[in-house]
Structure 1
Amino acid sequence: MILSSYHRLMHLLAFIICSFLICAHSDVPRPRGVSLSKASLYSPTKDFTCFDGTVTIPFSYVNDDYCDCFDGSDEPGTSACLNGVFHCTNAGHRAQNIPSSRVNDGVCDCCDGTDEYAEPDSCPNTCEELGREARAEALRLSELHKEGSQIRLELIEKGNKRRNEMAEQLAQLEKDKSEAETIKAEKEAIKNELEEKENEALKVYREAEEKEKQRKAEEENQQTIKDATEQFNRFDSNQDGQLSVEEIKVVNVFDKNKDGEVDQEEYQYFFGDSENVNLELFISTAWPMLKPLLMMEQGMFKPAEEEHESVRETDADDLSRELENEDLEGAEDENMDDSELPLEEDDHDLEQDHNKGYDEETQKLVNEATEARRQFTDAERAVREIDSSIQNIQHNLEKDYGLQQEFATLDGQCFEYEDKEYIYRLCMFQKITQKSKNGGSEVGLGNWGEWGGEENKKYSVMKYTNGVACWNGPNRITTVNIHCGLETKILSVTEPFRCEYKAELTTPAACDNNVSQAHSTHDEL
């Protein structure tokens, strides 16, 4: 009880002292560390209620170096509360708020020195000097914004003109697309009609061709049976209709490795596990493998080694031309769009038919159908190209170029910055890259993402994200801080954190005279 009474007595004494130390810069009485705007909340004539409304205490407890309020509002002028706020009046310069924990800590945080009142002479009042410097800087920025705003107005005019032109172009493209789709539909109808007539005219030729193929296949099959039968009968020495192991072993052609005998492995190669082979089995299994060996033996077929040698002896210029043609064809295949893809099998056959000898009327139909297909392909490509242009314009119209399109003309413009090691290249609304001066390829530091400024300063920060991944790390990102300047240029590029880059950019598009005037009006100088 005695200690408690003593503590409250000290509170009262502190309050009396505090009353005599009220800031002399204002006629409005308020405790130390309280701003003029909050003076009415600290009335000596009534009890003080904490800002969070949880506690009401005698006013004598305010600034008594004892924290009574959870929000620290009862100790603005002492360091008793960790979450308290001390207000620096800083007459002649900008007022500021600092954490009350910095009060009387031996460091001069307020330019007027009021935060170190325990030792008044330790902090000289530098507010007038700082105020003059701040006012000079504010004037410089005001003049810069004023001059830059004139350029910005031109950018706004050009940006809106560009937007209007894109809108007009989009409307024209929509109209062109409608017309192109009509032409495409007409060309497709003509193509389908002519292809129907073409197919009907070619039906007779195709049927005849199919019959010819079947006839040739049958002839080849019969010849195969004939050749195989002749050889079978030649090998079947006892003419019993079966080839035995003994009969096979004396036939040199079955000696694959030419060691003078037909061993078990070679026999199984041709006949498997069968001990006796009849004509049917010989034709189906052994003959396809045996025929090339017989042809080699008779000089009608060259072994693989001789064939390769023959190829090597081919004229070098011919080979070079063939390879060159293959490369060109491969390159064309890689670069072709959908409209240039190979025709469907049936359509390809129709193109091949163009080279065959048809009667005059049929050839005319084939030519007309071929031309119709070409015209339809062209019409189809035209629709796709218009669609692509429409999508590009729509994408640009959806981009946020600022409240008045002031950044629109910068889209696609690239700016470079060099330091000791790298060359940085920023293409506005597209990407930012880094390249070593010692050579090597570009490294993507981010692709255009969004504006990242806070609240009413949205257009002061650009975010470029999803760059090339760092080694064992995240994808690179870059933050571009936008400042007012009479020309668009990069001032600096740094990497404050691994894989996170920061660039400083000036541009007239960021110069707003109204904003600079508003800041000058609200700064407490």
Structure 2
Amino acid sequence: MMSSNYMNLVLVSTLLTIVVSGSVEHTVLRGVPAAQLSKYVSSKPFSCLDGSSTIPFEFVNDDYCDCRDGSDEPGTSACPNGRFFCENKGYVGTTIPSHFVGDSICDCCDGTDEYETKIVCNNTCFELAQKTRAEHEARRALHEAGVAKKMEIIKQSVVIKADREARLREFEQSLEKLESELKEKEELKNQAEIPENEAKEKHQKIWEEQRAVREAIAHDNQMREMFAELDTNNDSLVSIEELQKHTELDTDLENEFTAEEVRTILGADAVNFDDFNITVFDQISNSYKKLHEPIIETPVDVNDVVASTEAYLKQNDEQGQEQHHEEEISEEQEDEHDFDQHETPSPVATSLEHEKHIHDDTVPEYDDETKRLIQTADHARNEYHDVERRVHDVKREIEDLKRQSDVDTGVHGEYSAFIDQCYDYEEREYTYRVCMFKDAKQIPKGGGGEVIVGYWDSWVGPTTNKYLKMKYSNGATCWNGPARSLTVTFRCGIEHKVVDVREPTRCEYAMIFETPSACDETIASGTQHHGHEEF
């Protein structure tokens, strides 16, 4: 076993660096932060910090890597994964990779990483400390000014919330009254529409009956005219030879209009007026054309047509009664006489050109009583619809107020100023518009439709303060890609404004938004603890 004197000699020679300045010597264990000095005790073996092994203490900082984590060489560059601690007195201690030690480059502001080289490192810790303090003060002043505005927003949010609740109660009370009034107006409207509808139906029925009479007269006149034109020999019959002249009735256009085809239409070799009316007219009326050029006649009023037709029929009736007192005539004469009773004389306007006058579909004007009932019903309907619109408006106001109440605007309502507010950010090709708690859009400057980047989703900040980020999701789908989305990161600022928008990942946008609502009271008061990562 080694003597204690020998052990002490080894420890002095291997663990301690002797710095000679005149006749004074200093011993230093380099590269170890103060928090870990208790683990480096020269009087007992050293256990690697990862627990992988235990070595004699003289192996620490012997420029040979014994521990897998490099913890046995904190003051040398022997271990590729080792860490060297820069004390940086007057500033903030930092840790650098151990292979930076002795590389002739000053990495520590106090230059302690180059203790074994001839490089002279200027101590810049004081200047860095001054710069850092200035940055800290500027940051603190920014947060202080922002917090002042944030307090105003919070105070105003309390007023807004109280006002919103009061308005909500008023609208709900108003809605209750309006819905009761709407029921009354609806009952009055229904009562007024009953006699109105009855009068309209009566008017419509009378008009339809009159139109049916006119159409019947027109049909009869058209049929009489067609029979008279077809009966070219005036024998009160339409024969196969007479109808065969109208080849437009031939449905088989490839062959001639044969007698058999005509007989199929007539149902016999010839038909009299009554049979023609019953079986033939409807078959041919749509295709039938006159053989001669139509005569251009002066338009005749439908009332004149009706009057002339009725006068003619009355005259025929009187003539028929007189003929019963005359001598017996032959059967052929009786048939001719029978046709004469149905034949329409030429002065009566029954041509097809007058059909548009007979089939007049214009409903006549309502009578004064019906007009009065319609006016009364219109007034009741207008009053009903007026109250209905007011009910709709009040319901929309209530929905808006409830929606605003449901929005999470922060623990103290610090983001309440954002409700129903939109903010734009201009870049080269697009304008990005975020409407808080609603949606975000990308608007092309060169024209074209706007694109929804996302709809308001939730707060997604860190667990320490979720209100530092918000998410907009389920935007328009990218071409062969995912749906667009936007993450808004808030940071302290004097005004509400977007300061940057980027697309770090395809279809996933990132926005930086400055606002007093994100300012921190602890930073403003200067009580926040700053670790070295702050610098």
TM-score w.r.t. length of structure 2 = 0.62
Q: Which residue of 1 aligns with 2:367?
A: 357
Q: Which residue of 2 aligns with 1:147?
A: 145
Cα deviations by residue, 1:146-196 (Å, 9 ceiling, x for unpaired)? 222222211221222222211221121111111111111222233334444
Pairing 1:168–2:166 present: yes
Cα deviations by residue, 1:285-339 (Å, 9 ceiling, x for unpaired)? 4313447x7998344799xxxxxxxxxxxxxxxxxxxxxxxxxxxxxxxxxxxxx
Q: Which residue of 2 aligns with 1:213?
A: 208
Contiguous gaps of at least 5 residues in structure 1: 1-13, 23-28, 256-261, 303-352
Cα deviations by residue, 1:380-418 (Å, 9 ceiling, x for unpaired)? 221111111111122222223232222322444455554
Which of structures 1 and 2 has the bigger CA Rg? 2
Cα deviations by residue, 1:181-231 (Å, 9 ceiling, x for unpaired)? 1111222233334444x26xx647735742552453255246425523642
TM-superposed deviation, 1:449: 4.2
Q: What is the correspondence of 1:253-268 to structure 2 with a 5 Å cutoff?
A: 254=248, 264-265=252-253
User: Which stretch shifts more, 171-180 or 202-211?
Assistant: 202-211
Output the amino acid matched with 1:484.
C
TM-superposed deviation, 1:142: 0.8
Output the amino acid matched with 1:487.
E
Any idea what SS the aligned residue of 1:455 has? coil
| Contact 2:150/2:519 (8 A) holds in 1 | yes
| Contact 1:89/1:96 (8 A) holds in 2 | yes
Q: What is the correspondence of 1:310-349 to structure 2 with a 5 Å cutoff?
A: none
**Are the structure 2 counterparts of residues 76 and 268 from structure 1 closer, same or farther at C-alpha, using a change threshold of 3 Å?**
farther
Q: Which residue of 2 aligns with 1:377?
A: 385
| Contact 1:415/1:489 (8 A) holds in 2 | yes
Percent identity between matched residues is 30
Pairing 1:406–2:414 present: yes
Q: Which residue of 2 aligns with 1:227?
A: 222
Q: Which residue of 2 aligns with 1:178?
A: 176
Distance 2:45 2:223 in 1: 125
Pairing 1:58–2:58 present: no
Cα deviations by residue, 1:394-453 (Å, 9 ceiling, x for unpaired)? 222222323222232244445555455655555544555556666667665555444343
243, 246, 249: which one aligns with 1:251: 246
Pairing 1:187–2:185 present: yes
**Are the structure 2 counterparts of residues 208 and 413 from structure 1 closer, same or farther at C-alpha, using a change threshold of 3 Å?**
closer
User: Which stretch shifts more, 412-421 or 232-241?
Assistant: 232-241
Distance 1:241 1:40 in 2: 136
| Contact 2:441/2:454 (8 A) holds in 1 | yes
| Contact 1:76/1:87 (8 A) holds in 2 | no
**Are the structure 2 counterparts of residues 15 and 430 from structure 1 closer, same or farther at C-alpha, using a change threshold of 3 Å?**
farther
Any idea what SS the aligned residue of 1:506 has? strand
Distance 2:28 2:208 in 1: 111
Q: What is the correspondence of 1:504-523 to structure 2 with a 5 Å cutoff?
A: 504-517=512-525, 520-523=528-531
Output the amino acid matched with 1:251.
H
**Are the structure 2 counterparts of residues 75 and 490 from structure 1 closer, same or farther at C-alpha, using a change threshold of 3 Å?**
farther
Pairing 1:277–2:265 present: yes
Pairing 1:458–2:466 present: yes
TM-superposed deviation, 1:138: 0.8
TM-superposed deviation, 1:460: 2.8
Distance 1:288 1:449 in 2: 68
TM-superposed deviation, 1:137: 0.5
Distance 1:295 1:38 in 2: 124
Distance 1:92 1:369 in 2: 91
Any idea what SS the aligned residue of 2:173 has? helix
Output the amino acid matched with 1:231.
M
Distance 2:107 2:456 in 1: 40
| Contact 2:150/2:516 (8 A) holds in 1 | yes
Pairing 1:484–2:492 present: yes
Output the amino acid matched with 1:148.
G
Q: What is the correspondence of 1:406-425 to structure 2 with a 5 Å cutoff?
A: 406-419=414-427, 425=433
Contiguous gaps of at least 5 residues in structure 2: 1-9, 19-26, 267-275, 300-362
TM-superposed deviation, 1:476: 4.7
| Contact 1:446/1:467 (8 A) holds in 2 | yes
| Contact 1:466/1:476 (8 A) holds in 2 | yes
Distance 1:87 1:241 in 2: 129
